[in-house]
């Protein structure tokens, strides 16, 4: 096992849980594993596939992802192929011949292919070493991305009783976990629930003020870095992509309204580092395996925590630091409610509403983001300060907001607790609107009582009072504000109201706690990154498949000058050493010779 780990994959040691999973598969036991994105899932089935007789069949949901997965395996010297609807009959026949000749170790197929009646016969025509179900949450109707074609996987245990099956997902609550195991029919599986903590990700939430300027400001701090911007609608995707291009930023759109050719072309350009940013709806989902995404920006509110966790998880898959920013505005809530209200099934509607409330709480509560995320998946975060979110790294002070809270609450009370956030803010701001005049709310005591402060202040305060359950929202589809008992106690003078005043998070001049990063020569990194892109073009694969950012960073710390030295760099197995080692060594030597003190200084 360790020899295969080192020679094929270029790693000196296993990550948490990998060894136990691999030993279970090699012993012929079924496995169910919840592992975070970037946790090393692929190695858990690729390594035993290399050690077992026959071919491992990997069921993966997106055709667009298969080519990259196969390319990445081949770069490590693993014979791999896929069969999908993009291929000609002749190409499929060629793969089938190779399978029967036992020349393929990894075969990637879509669940739709597995569901075809005749395909079982194809699978039985060659020795199968193991079945792997990737993105296994797709089989559960309780999961966030249910796919009916996954239901056919219940045939596995019956049709292949002697072949182990391993199911992997990056996100599953305990309820979804039980549903997956039951639906696939896993036989007393070895179960792993790895920590959901992505220590290298920095989580931040900012009030949404001006989306365009906020996006541009964020990108200015991430020049040259690859990232994803999520928007809710197709129109906002096109608008944002157009804005970025107009400002000289290489950006492409991705949404379901584009032709499949354009979507594939744009995704390919992003994968190959030809476009810095992809602006996308959630249609840009599991089909991204790019390891060097350095940021994910949600410019609109996600519909649930599972989606948010999955989407932020596309950042930092190589283990290096990455930044996840969510712009939160309560104006996004009614837009999501509109879709929820259109659901015909009452139970489905109720679940969606509960999930929306959870993501609103995450965005509006001023407590550790990481603790909140992990808590959603039933995991306790043991430390007081995660060191990797805006709350834990920002300067936070508790301030008394009793006076302003009473103004808001009095306005809610005086208007009979029958109006929503916008109207109540208009009252305290003294807004001269038609509705305020018609309802004669310009004649009540609190009208204009808060005009000395801006609208953003009052909206922020309302968010705090909602988060602390001094006020609650009630009713569909346009919720009104109601005072809770705590709120009534504040209004009557029995209790004070406090809020956390958050200053900007401190600049991150050091790596996020728990990440693998350290100081490295940035000028050399740029040169190696250019070389990587050039070689990726020659080999017709995305640059991150050649070497990850993490591997390049390590080169830029240790300056390997010989093949044995290069072999000690993480992520370089025998195949990659032979294919790329000399060329990268030459580039490092050229840089070192041009700046003789650089290597000595870094090594010191």
What percent of the chain shows pLDDT beyond 90?
57
Could you tell me where in the chain the CATH 1.10.150.80 domains are found?
Answer: 522-603
Note the pLDDT tens digit of each residue in 584-602.
Answer: 999 999 998 876 555 544 4
Mean pLDDT, all residues of the chain:
88
Would you state the structure tokens that stand for residue 218, as one six-digit string?
A: 């964020």
What is the pTM for the complete model shown? 0.74
603 confidence band (pLDDT: 50, 70, 90)? very low
The residue to which tokens 């009713």 are assigned: 475
Could you tell me where in the chain the CATH 3.40.50.300 domains are found?
Answer: 2-193, 201-393
Phi first, then psi: give them for residue 320, nearest 5 degrees.
Answer: -85, 160
Would you state the structure tokens that stand for residue 510, as one six-digit string?
A: 């050091």
Residue 105 in this model has a pLDDT that exceeds 90: yes
Q: Please give the DSSP secondary-structure letter assigned to residue 511.
A: P
Q: Is 183 helix (H, G, I), strand (E, B) or coil?
A: helix
Residue 442 CB-half CA count within 13 A: 9
Cα→Cα distances 26→1, 43, 94, 126, 163, Å: 10, 13, 29, 19, 11
What are the E-state strand segments in 355-492?
A: 394-400, 471-474, 480-483
Is residue 315 within 8 A of residue 201, CB to CB? The reply is yes
Report d(CA 596, CA 591) in Å as an integer.
Answer: 8
501 confidence band (pLDDT: 50, 70, 90)? low
Residue 173 in this model has a pLDDT that exceeds 50: yes
The reported pLDDT for the residue numbered 280 is 92
473 confidence band (pLDDT: 50, 70, 90)? confident
129 confidence band (pLDDT: 50, 70, 90)? very high
Is residue 543 within 8 A of residue 536, CB to CB? The reply is yes
Q: Which of 604, 456, 472, 584 is nearest to 531 (CA)?
A: 584
Report d(CA 200, CA 515) in Å as an integer.
Answer: 5
What percent of the chain shows pLDDT beyond 70?
93
**Average pLDDT, stretch 127-153?**
83
Would you state the structure tokens that stand for residue 403, as one six-digit string?
A: 């006076």
The reported pLDDT for the residue numbered 447 is 94
Report d(CA 261, CA 120) in Å as an integer.
Answer: 30
**Lowest mean pLDDT: which of 143-152, 292-301, 351-360, 564-573?**
143-152
The reported pLDDT for the residue numbered 569 is 95
Q: Which of 499, 478, 503 is nearest to 490 (CA)?
A: 499
The reported pLDDT for the residue numbered 404 is 94
CATH number 3.40.50.300 given to 2-193:
yes
The reported pLDDT for the residue numbered 286 is 52
The reported pLDDT for the residue numbered 520 is 87
CA 547 and chain centroid, separation = 21
The reported pLDDT for the residue numbered 510 is 37
Q: Which of 143, 165, 170 is nearest to 154 (CA)?
A: 165
Per the model's pLDDT, the better-predicted residue between 260 and 55 turns out to be 55
Could you tell me where in the chain the CATH 1.10.10.10 domains are found?
Answer: 398-503
Handedness of CA 512, 514, 520, 522 (dihedral sign): negative
Phi first, then psi: give them for residue 550, nearest 5 degrees.
Answer: -60, -45
319 confidence band (pLDDT: 50, 70, 90)? confident
Environment class of 162 (CB within 10 Å of its CB; exposed 0-12, middle 13-18, buried 19+):
exposed
Would you state the structure tokens that stand for residue 382, as one six-digit string?
A: 């043991």
Give the highest mean pLDDT range of 18-32, 108-122, 369-383.
18-32
31 confidence band (pLDDT: 50, 70, 90)? very high
CATH of 201-393, one of 3.40.50.2300, 3.40.50.10420, 3.40.30.10, 3.40.50.300: 3.40.50.300
Residue 147 in this model has a pLDDT that exceeds 80: no
Question: Considering only the top CATH level, what class is 398-503?
Answer: mainly alpha
As a whole number of Å, the end-to-end CA separation of the chain is 35
Is residue 197 within 8 A of residue 381, CB to CB? The reply is yes
Phi first, then psi: give them for residue 462, nearest 5 degrees.
Answer: -60, -40
Report d(CA 449, CA 426) in Å as an integer.
Answer: 11
138 confidence band (pLDDT: 50, 70, 90)? confident
**Lowest mean pLDDT: which of 4-8, 323-327, 381-385, 561-565?**
381-385
Note the pLDDT tens digit of each residue in 190-203.
Answer: 999 988 899 999 99
The reported pLDDT for the residue numbered 460 is 79
Cα→Cα distances 385→47, 324, 382, 389, Å: 36, 18, 9, 9
Cis peptide before 569 (omega within 30 of 0): no
Q: Which residues pair with 491 in a beta bridge?
A: none
The reported pLDDT for the residue numbered 340 is 86
Report d(CA 277, CA 252) in Å as an integer.
Answer: 7
Q: Is 108 helix (H, G, I), strand (E, B) or coil?
A: strand
The reported pLDDT for the residue numbered 440 is 93
The reported pLDDT for the residue numbered 596 is 56
522-603 CATH fold: DNA polymerase; domain 1 (1.10.150)
């Amino acid at each position: 096992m360790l020899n295969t780990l080192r020679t094929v994959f270029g790693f000196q040691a296993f990550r948490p849980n990998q060894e136990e999973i691999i030993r279970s598969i090699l012993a012929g036991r079924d496995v169910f594993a919840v592992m975070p994105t970037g946790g090393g899932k692929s190695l858990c089935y690729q390594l035993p596939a290399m050690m077992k007789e026959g071919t491992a069949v990997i069921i993966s949901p997106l055709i667009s992802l298969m080519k990259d997965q196969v390319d990445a395996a081949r770069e490590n010297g693993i014979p791999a192929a896929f069969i999908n609807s993009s291929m000609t009959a002749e190409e499929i026949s060629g793969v089938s011949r190779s399978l029967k000749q036992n020349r393929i170790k990894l075969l990637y197929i879509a669940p739709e292919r597995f569901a075809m009646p005749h395909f079982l016969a194809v699978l039985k025509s060659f020795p199968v070493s193991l079945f792997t179900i990737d993105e296994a949450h797709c089989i559960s109707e309780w999961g966030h991305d249910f796919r009916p074609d996954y239901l056919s996987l219940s045939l596995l245990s019956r049709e292949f009783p002697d072949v182990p099956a391993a199911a992997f997902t990056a996100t599953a609550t305990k309820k979804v976990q039980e549903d997956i195991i039951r639906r696939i029919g896993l036989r007393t599986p070895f179960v792993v629930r790895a920590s959901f903590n992505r220590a290298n990700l920095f989580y931040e939430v900012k009030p949404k003020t001006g989306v365009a300027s906020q996006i541009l400001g964020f990108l200015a701090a991430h020049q040259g870095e690859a990232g994803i911007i999520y928007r809710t609608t197709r129109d906002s995707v096109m608008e944002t992509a157009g804005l970025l291009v107009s400002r000289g930023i290489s950006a492409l759109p991705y949404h379901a309204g584009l032709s499949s050719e354009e979507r594939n072309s744009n995704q390919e350009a992003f994968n190959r580092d030809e476009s810095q940013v992809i602006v996308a709806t959630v249609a840009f989902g599991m089909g991204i395996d790019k390891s060097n995404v350095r940021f994910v920006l949600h410019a609109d509110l996600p519909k649930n925590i599972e989606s948010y966790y999955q989407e932020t998880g596309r950042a930092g898959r190589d283990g290096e630091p990455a930044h996840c920013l969510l712009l939160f505005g309560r104006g996004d809530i009614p837009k999501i409610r509109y879709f929820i209200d259109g659901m015909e099934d009452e139970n489905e509607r109720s679940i969606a509403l509960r999930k929306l409330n959870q993501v609103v709480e995450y965005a509006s509560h001023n407590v550790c983001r990481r603790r909140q995320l992990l808590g959603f998946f039933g995991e306790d975060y043991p430390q007081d300060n995660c060191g990797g979110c805006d709350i834990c790294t920002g300067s936070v002070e508790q301030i008394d907001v009793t006076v302003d809270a009473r103004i808001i609450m009095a306005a809610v009370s005086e208007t009979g607790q029958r109006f929503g956030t916008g109207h109540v803010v208009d009252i305290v701001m003294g807004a001269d609107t038609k509705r305020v005049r018609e309802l004669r709310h310009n004649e009540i005591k609190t009208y204009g009582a808060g005009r000395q402060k801006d609208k953003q202040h009052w909206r922020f305060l309302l968010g705090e009072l909602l988060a602390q359950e001094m006020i609650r929202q009630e009713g569909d589809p346009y919720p009104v504000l109601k005072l809770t008992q705590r709120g009534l106690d504040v209004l009557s003078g029995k209790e004070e109201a406090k809020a956390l005043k958050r200053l900007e998070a401190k600049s991150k001049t050091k790596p996020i706690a728990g990440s693998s990063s350290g100081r490295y020569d940035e000028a050399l990194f740029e040169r190696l990154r250019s070389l990587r892109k050039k070689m990726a073009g020659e080999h017709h694969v995305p640059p991150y498949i050649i070497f990850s950012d993490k591997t390049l960073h390590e080169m830029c710390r240790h300056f390997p000058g010989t093949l044995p030295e290069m072999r000690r760099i993480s992520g370089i197995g025998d195949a990659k050493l032979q294919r790329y080692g000399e060329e990268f060594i030459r580039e490092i030597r050229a840089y070192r010779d041009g700046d003789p003190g650089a290597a000595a200084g870094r090594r010191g």
